[in-house]
Amino acid sequence: MKIDGIDKIIIKTLLEDARTPILSIAREVGISGAAIHQRLRKLESSHLIEGYQMKINSKALGYTTTAFVGVFLDSSGHLSAVMKKLNTIPEILESHYTTGNYSIFIKIICKNNEDLMRLLNTKIQSIKEVLRTETFISLEQQIDRQIRI
What order of strands is seen across the sheet that includes strand 104-110? 92-97, 104-110, 65-73, 130-138
Which DSSP state fits 61? G
- 116, 108 Cβ separation under 8 angstroms: yes
CA dist 59 and 53 (Å) reads 18
CA angle 102/70/111 to nearest 5° reads 165
Q: Fill in the amino acid letter for 128.
A: K
All structural domains of the chain, each given as residue ranges with its CATH number in brackets, are 5-45 (1.10.10.10), 58-138 (3.30.70.920)
pLDDT in tens, 90-145: 999 999 999 999 999 999 999 999 999 999 999 999 999 999 999 999 999 999 98
Give yes or no for residue 73 having a pLDDT over 90.
yes
pLDDT (mean) for 66-95: 97
Residue 27: in which H helix or E strand, if any? Answer: helix 22-29
Helical (H) or strand (E) element with 112:
none
Q: Could you give the maximum distance between any two Cα atoms of the chain, in Å?
A: 60
Q: List, for residues 13-23, the tens digit of each pLDDT value.
A: 999 999 999 99
| pLDDT for residue 43 is more than 90 | yes
pLDDT at 148 over 90: no
